[in-house]
Structure 1
């Protein structure tokens, strides 16, 4: 048996996860328009460097997110190095660290933006399915699909208990319900809509499908470990 290819398989899987994660980030940026338009939007807070402009507007949050990318990369490196020193294999250390940081980095800015005050008069709740969806433009639909996409893509890679599309759908729906309820309770002048919940959950589920080949491979590798077999899954003689 050739053992030289086995150690490289997790490394190749980790590289593919990194590439797909970067592709999703690029697609999210491209969804907002041409590159020059994105750069123009991101530069707007620099013309008025007031704290409210930075933390209280979509443009400010987007600029902070872009500026925090090097810090996120540094956090991934630091966590992976710490795990490697403690005995974790390098491929697993990088995969776990990327999943943890990616879930936070790819989700917090979206939740931050949808928790900013809107332009509706008071708290509005819409509980009729698909009614608001018919009035949404493409940007709203894409934005709602991306809110928990990073969570849906990376959570099954980090937590074995979430390695299931229905569970990721439930996680996305639960998180969305909490956000929509917070919008209503805090009276953020936004519409708390059941269609937002449906789109947020769908985005998480679609992202989980996109990463399925990797978290299924990880689950299979974990089940084949000697410790797992000894814990109640004896191999056939």
Structure 2
């Protein structure tokens, strides 16, 4: 009886890990659609009619478009992985899924956080630099939303890039991304408050998401 080479023996384990990761993403999409079914259905007529106003400038509309396009994102990841497997690239599916996931899971939240308010361009930029002051007046939905802003980046970046595959680096990546968002809000005068608490919560969300994806990290060396 032959046991096969180490790479052959590990192949079923890698395939199971890849399947588990894809299943986790699909479960997250289904869960979001189930929980927000009512608001999504309210936005559906406007979005399906192709009217940006009332769709791409509302939370429910952006979420609806994001969930609607999820199959296309998965198909893109599958196509990328096929090309990589044909070229003999290792971790083809994980690499491709992570690349698409980082972009597709982050762009909608960045869009929402940089959406102009009613006083955009008129009201000067506002800063809140006292840690934890804003959290006292932020409700649970707001905190939950801020945790999700860079969660996809924190989840997928260490899966794709070995250089990011450590908890301190995931936290630093989340903090850097959040600082860029808050800076854009201030510089572009979007009628939003650029808050240090947003940076803290965004970075924490990236870190927590990174912990969830730790079994699939691209380990250095």
- What TM-score results when the alignment is normalised by the length of structure 1? 0.82
The count of corresponding residues between Structure 1 and Structure 2 is 214
Gaps in structure 1 of 5+ consecutive residues: 224-237
Of 126, 129, 136, the residue aligned with 2:128 is 126
* 1:37-48 superposed matches below 5 A: 37-43=38-44, 45-46=46-47
* 1:102-181 superposed matches below 5 A: 102-118=101-117, 121-181=123-183
Q: Matches of 1:13 and 1:46 in 2, distance apart?
A: 36
Residue 13 (str. 1) matches residue 17 (str. 2): yes
Q: Where do 4+ consecutive residues of structure 1 move more than 6 Å?
A: none
Task: State the superposition RMSD in angstroms.
Answer: 2.2
**Deviation (angstroms), 1:191:** 0.8
**Deviation (angstroms), 1:29:** 4.8
8 Å contact kept, 2:150–2:206 = yes
Q: 1:144 to 1:27 in 2, by over 3 A?
A: farther
8 Å contact kept, 1:148–1:200 = yes
Query: Which residue in the other structure is 1:185 paired with?
Result: 187
- What TM-score results when the alignment is normalised by the length of structure 2? 0.88
Q: 1:190 to 1:66 in 2, by over 3 A?
A: same
Q: 1:35 to 1:177 in 2, by over 3 A?
A: closer
8 Å contact kept, 2:178–2:199 = yes
